[in-house]
Structure 1
Amino acid sequence: MSGSGTDKTKARKELAGPIVVLVEPQLGENIGMAARAMGNFGLTRLRIVKPRDGWPNVAAQRAAAGADHILDKVELFDTVEAAVADCSLLFATTARAHDQAKPVVGPEEAARQSVTEIASGGTAAILFGRERWGLNNEEAALANRIVTFPVSPGFASLNLAQAVLLMGYEWFKLSTGNALPFTMPERSERASSHQMQAFFDNLIGELDKVEFLRPAEKRDTMLVNLRNIFTRMEPTKQDMHTLHGVVMAIAEGRKGPAKGGVLDGNEATRLRALLAEHSEGRAPSESGTVRGLARLLRRNPTDAERLLWQALTTDRRFAAQFKRQTPVGRHIPDFVSFSKRVAIEIVNPGENDVVRKDRAVRSNWLAERGYCVVALSTDQIERDLAAALDLIENGAPSASA
């Protein structure tokens, strides 16, 4: 894309550099791309000897990708001699030995000599030959130095713009002290030992909840290995914040911990009745009211829901497998495990016909799709939580309260 990576809010770097001389270029596109390469590295003076397709050239302007400031000041000449008449140091780029007794240098050395010559008040220029056969012997003879590139001898031909780019790169790098145009922000401060220990303590606590560090005789070795993993990372403070968040998100489920207040049975029943009345078989994404009521239920669980959710997230049989108030198709069960294909419905005392009908429709819909629906009363959960968990594990539906 034209201009990709260009920050137009910044001024162009235009330094006193060598003149680029293109000898009888055949394609306007190559002239434009050469100008673009010059613009990349702060070169501004372009001379052209007898361009085949004349000048100005629309194809060159298109290929220049915004380097109009160079094309607008192009100098045209009929002969190479005229184009380099004012130059005190001339380099001829070529991939062929012209059997001429003169120094041969690489692009880096040519850039160094150009910088020195220009700094002393001289004029340096670089000759680039035709696309098909480059410079002839007479043209190369005009130069003080031969420049050739360290390329594979068996495939040494470069595109005209590529050759200009390589010379411009070496000159610009030397002229600017190899300064890069931007730097990335430094990493945040390295995490302190105290922060690392706090994270590790939290990680161990969550791993203990799911009985990961087993058997007991290997616990110490496992802890050392885990600690070494994070020590080798040399994490920053931000890394520790992120990792802590990851651990807690996994431990508490995708929707996060239950937040908000605590509903009693009557309040939960009324809220579920409202949800049933507004849903009428619609998907949660299709109604803002349904979505809002479901979110309210999730953030304001009853005591029984809190108790059951805590058990489901800490019991190793169910840890990280259940989700609260999560849509399954067009319905939202209280708890669902996609991996176990189990849905849990909590039955509050005093539910009205609307809530019971809604639950029946939801349970049938889930059962038709291979889910085992377990209905638990709030009394069952609060009276004997272990027995309720056994019912969930066995997938056996329970009688309503």
Structure 2
Amino acid sequence: MADLPGPVVILVEPQLGENIGMAARAMGNFGLTELRLVSPRDGWPSLPATRAAAGADHIIDHVKLFDTLDAAIADLDLVFATSARPHDQAKPVVGPAAAAWEMAGHLGGGGKAGILFGRERYGLKAEEVARADRIVTFPVNPEFASLNLAQAVLLIGYEWFKLATAGALPHATPERSPRAGKEQINAFFDNLVRELDKVEFLRPPEKREIMLVNLRNIFSRMEPTKQDMHTLHGIVMAIAEGRKGPAKGGVLDGAGATRLRALLAEEGTPRGPEAGGSVRGLARLLRRNPTDAERALWAALRADRRFAGEFKRQTPVGRHIPDFVSFTRRTAVELVNAGENAAIAADRGARRSWLEARGYRVVVLEAADIERDLPQALDQIAAVQSL
């Protein structure tokens, strides 16, 4: 659109470089490319103007300078002067839309048009307005009619560009997924009702039918697309599967996580050809469900500079899963939870023997001691690491 032929913008004795730059930016927004300056107060080129143009370099870099207004409009055959004040001159006064219509027709016939904009402080002088063929004024509050220079340029540019491009917008509403068919909606609804029945949502029984009608009407009003139905179906299934416990995405609280560890210890560590995958699965399960003491110690280990991010939590070492392990320091940390039975203690003992046989130093900490005095627990780990 930069090559779209348009009217020339002429700023008469502009005072601030920033205003020139912002006017150039407004021109760029609406495809106007030719900017002429008549005796800019602070000279030209202007670094403030370049900065304020915000990328409209194709306009700023090709500005034309003139010493007089007559020289600036010498090659034009239709000139509009913008003014917020009446000048009592016998020439047509039009709004920006009407000016755009006339300029579009004039330019289309091979003519050349320009628009005059005056100084920031007091606009155009009467003798400068006299050199124009038309006066353009804006429908603004008469009690506060003064516009910023760039705002005036923008209003004219907007009306001209809207007309020249037939109001075409730069982007449209993105294409939607096709509308969902009744068969897809009914299949989703049947699945939703099955899951709601499992949690006894549709009760009391005497209100079941009206509740189903209301639910169905919700989706009818939505006019969902096929993609909408895929998303909703995924949401319902994710919520339903989350009900089945931590292996399906649920997360236990601290007490539940402690019971989970006791159960796994009593069952024993998987062995045999499939043990590798099983151990990794158990490690993921344990990482997702920390006990209260484990959560507190893990946060402290990551924050303490002595350990420098060396520890990993619930990471397999062979077929064993210590609570924490540092491979670089060959150190493992085991937590003892309250109320553990003999089977759990035996399992931990076997794991400790296995690790120590392979050069690991094992630190055993009581969960209650961690919750009571966390800094002391960190000191114990540091002392073992330094050996």
Question: Same fold judged by TM-score > 0.5?
Answer: yes
Q: Tell me, yes or no, if structure 1 residue 353 matches structure 2 residue 342.
A: no
2-side partners of 1:14 and 1:239: how far apart?
43
One of 152, 155, 163 as aligned partner of 2:141: 152
Structure 2 counterpart of 1:33: 22
Q: Which residue of 1 aligns with 2:48?
A: 59
Q: Distance in 2 between matches of 1:362 and 1:227?
A: 56
- CA distance in 1 between partners of 2:217 and 2:191 (Å): 16
How far apart, CA to CA, are the structure 2 residues paired with 1:357 and 1:149?
88
Residue number in structure 2 paired with 1:105: 94
1:85 aligned onto 2:74: yes
TM-score, L = length of structure 2: 0.68
Unpaired stretches in structure 1, ≥5 consecutive residues? 1-11, 260-264, 273-288, 299-324, 334-346, 370-401
Q: Are the counterparts in 1 of residues 177 and 225 from structure 2 also a CA contact under 8 Å?
A: yes
Q: How does 1:205-220 map to 2 (within 5 A)?
A: 205-220=194-209
1:11-42 Cα offsets, whole Å, 9 max, x none, are x5321100000000000111111111111211
8 Å Cα contact 1:191/1:237 also seen in 2 = yes
- Paired amino acid for 1:227: R
Q: Is the 8 A contact 2:265 2:347 kept in 1?
A: no
Aligned residue number for residue 336 of structure 1: none
**Cα distance in 2 between the residues matched to 1:240 and 1:160:** 52
Cα-to-partner distance string for 1:334-367 (whole Å, 9 max, x where unaligned): xxxxxxxxxxxxx999767125999xx999659x
1:129 is matched by which residue type in structure 2? G
Q: Amino acid of the residue matched to residue 153 of structure 2?
A: V
Q: 2:266, 2:344 within 8 Å by CA — same for their partners in 1?
A: no
Give the match for residue 376 of structure 1. Answer: none
Given candidates 117, 120, 125, the residue that maps to 2:109 is 120
Secondary structure in structure 1 of the residue aligned to 2:188:
helix
Alpha-carbon distance in structure 2 between the residues aligned to 1:269 and 1:113: 89
> How many Å separate the matches in 2 of 1:19 and 1:61?
19
The TM-score with structure 1 as length reference comes to 0.66
1:269 counterpart letter in structure 2: G
Change (3 A) 1:114 1:348: farther
Matches within 5 A, 1:176-195: 176-195=165-184
Write out aligned runs for 1:232-251 (5 A): 232-251=221-240
Distance 1:38 1:223 in 2: 58
Which whole-Å deviations, capped at 9, do the CAs of 1:365-399 have from their partners, x for residues lacking one?
Answer: 59x89xxxxxxxxxxxxxxxxxxxxxxxxxxxxxx
Tell me which residue corresponds to 1:174. Answer: 163
Aligned equivalents of 2:38, 2:197: Cα separation in 1: 79
Secondary structure of 2:139's match? Answer: coil
Distance in 2 of aligned mates of 1:291 and 1:18: 71
Counterpart among 116, 120, 124 of residue 131 in structure 1 = 120
1:72 aligns with 2:61: yes
Find the counterpart in structure 2 of residue 269 from structure 1: 268
Per the TM alignment, residue 227 of structure 1 is displaced from its structure 2 partner at its CA by 0.9
Q: CA deviation at 1:129?
A: 0.6
Task: Note closer, same or farther for the CA distance 1:63–1:246 as it changes in structure 2 (3 Å cut).
Answer: same
Residues 77 and 352 (structure 1 numbering): CA distance in 2 closer, same or farther, change over 3 Å? same
Taking the aligned partners of 1:127 and 1:66, their CA distance within structure 2 comes to: 23
Corresponding residue to 1:326 among 286, 289, 309 = 289
Shift of 1:256: 8.1
1:295 pairs with 2:284: yes
Structure 2 vs 1, CA of residues 253 and 115 (structure 1 numbering), >3 Å: closer, same or farther?
same
User: Kindly tell me: are residues 187 and 38 of structure 1, through their superposed partners in 2, closer, same or farther at Cα, counting changes over 3 Å?
Assistant: same
User: Residues of 2 paired with 1:348 and 1:118: CA distance?
Assistant: 94
RMSD of aligned alpha carbons: 3.6
1:23 pairs with 2:16: no
Shift of 1:293: 3.3
Structure 2: any 5+ residue segments left out of the alignment? 249-263, 272-277, 296-312, 315-339, 352-363, 373-387
Distance, in Å, in 1 between the alignment partners of 2:188 and 2:349 is 45
Q: Is the 2:270–2:279 contact (alpha carbons within 8 Å) kept by the matching residues of 1?
A: no
**Could you say if the C-alpha distance between residues 249 and 355 of structure 1 is closer, same or farther in structure 2, counting changes exceeding 3 Å?**
farther
The answer to whether the Cα contact below 8 Å between 2:38 and 2:67 also exists between their aligned partners in 1 is yes
Q: Is the 8 A contact 2:2 2:33 kept in 1?
A: no
Change (3 A) 1:266 1:34: closer
